[in-house]
Amino acid sequence: MRSALRLPVLLAAALLVLGGGCSFSYSSKSLSDSSASSSESSSASSQTQVSRYRQDVADYAQAYVTSGGAEAGFLGGIGALAEKRGISDWEAEPNTWVGIGQGLGRANVNEVQLDVYAQNWSAGDAQKLQGIQKGWNQAR
């Protein structure tokens, strides 16, 4: 008779373990999905932040050039924009230079003016010059 009572108890325990295992597996999957979603959201947020930064740089460059600001103070203003947007190494950030080029293009600078601004602000760095040219081309 004792073994007859044990069978239902063992069966119930097995169902709990199996049911709990499924629940745990489902919970783990949900947690994993949530973590992946959070990571994607963080990446999208980071991309949005960089896009906003590039837009800020373009707006600043356009306003700076059209208002006739002195070239010497320009890069300091870019550094302040970068800090505001959480960009730590703005000089190495390609969006800095593309944004500058976009602003110059929107300010309708000609190719000669573009070359002068680009050389002065990039210190002749080929990658920075390329970024400025790319942004200028996009804005034209």
Least confident of 42-51, 58-67, 126-135: 42-51
**Residue 97: which of 52, 58, 60 has the closest Cα?**
58
**Residue 54: which of 132, 137, 140, 121 has the closest Cα?**
132
CB 132 within 8 A of CB 97: yes
Residues in contact with 39: Cβ distance below 8 Å, sequence separation at least 6, in sequence order: none
128, pLDDT greater than 90: yes
pLDDT of residue 89: 96
Distances (CA, A) of 75 to 23, 41, 45, 46, 127: 57, 31, 26, 23, 17
pLDDT of residue 70: 79
Burial 16-36 (b: 16+ CB within 10 A, else e): eeeeeeeeeeeeeeeeeeeee
If you average pLDDT over each of 25-39, 45-59, 98-112, which comes out highest?
A: 98-112
pLDDT of residue 116: 95
Looking at residue 115, its amino acid is D
- How far is Cα 92 from Cα 50, in angstroms, rounded to an integer? 13
37, pLDDT greater than 50: no
**Residue 59: which of 40, 84, 42 has the closest Cα?**
84
Model confidence pLDDT, tens digit, residues 85-121: 999 999 999 999 999 999 999 999 999 999 999 999 9
